Homo-oligomer: A and B are copies of this chain.
Amino acid sequence: MAKDISMDAVKVIEIKKSVFEDNDKDAAALRRQLKARGVYLLNLMSSPGSGKTTTLIQLLNRIKGKLRVAVMEADIDSDVDAVKILEATGVPSIQLHTGGMCHLDAEMTRQGLTGLPEAGLGNLKGAGGCDCPEGGRSDTAGLDLVILENVGNLVCPAEFDTGACRNAMILSVPEGHDKPLKYPLMFTVCDLVIVNKIDVLPYFDFDMDKCAEYVHMRNPKAEIIPICARTGEGVDALADWILKEVETWKAAPEL
A-to-B contact residues, CB < 8 Å: 47-49, 75-78, 80, 100, 102, 151-156, 159, 172, 174-176, 178-179, 181-185, 197, 199-200, 203-204
Question: What is the copy number of this chain in the assembly?
Answer: 2
Q: In the complex, what residues of B have CB within 8 A of residue A75's CB?
A: 182
- Interface pair B102/A182, CB less than 8 Å apart: no
With a 10 A CB-CB cut-off, give which of A80, A155, A204 has the most chain B CB atoms.
A155
By the criterion CB–CB under 8 Å, are B175 and A49 in contact? yes
A38–B200 CA distance with the chains assembled, in angstroms = 44
How distant is the Cα of A179 from the Cα of B49 in the complex, in angstroms? 8
A48: chain B residues at CB < 8 Å are: 47, 154, 175, 179, 182-183
Cβ 8 A contact of A153, one of B77, B153, B172 = B153
CA distance A7 to B62 in the complex (A): 47
B174 touches A80 (CB 8 A): no
**Do B154 and A155 have beta carbons less than 8 Å apart?**
no
Q: A153-B153, A174-B197 given. 12 additional CB < 8 A pairs?
A: A47-B48, A47-B175, A49-B174, A49-B176, A102-B102, A102-B155, A102-B156, A153-B155, A156-B156, A172-B174, A200-B200, A203-B203
A181: chain B residues within 8 A (beta carbon): 78, 80
Which residue in chain B gives the minimum CB-CB distance to A172? B174
Contacts A176-B49, A197-B174: A152 and B76 contacting too (C-beta < 8 A)? Answer: no
Bound-state Cα–Cα, A154 to B41, Å: 26
- 8 Å CB contact of A185 from B100, B151, B185, B204: B100
The distance in angstroms between the C-alpha atoms of A204 and B185, with both chains bound, is 30
23 contacts between A and B (CB under 8 A): A47-B47, A48-B179, A49-B174, A49-B179, A76-B182, A76-B185, A77-B184, A78-B182, A80-B182, A102-B153, A102-B156, A151-B155, A152-B182, A152-B183, A153-B153, A153-B156, A155-B156, A156-B156, A172-B174, A174-B174, A200-B200, A200-B203, A200-B204
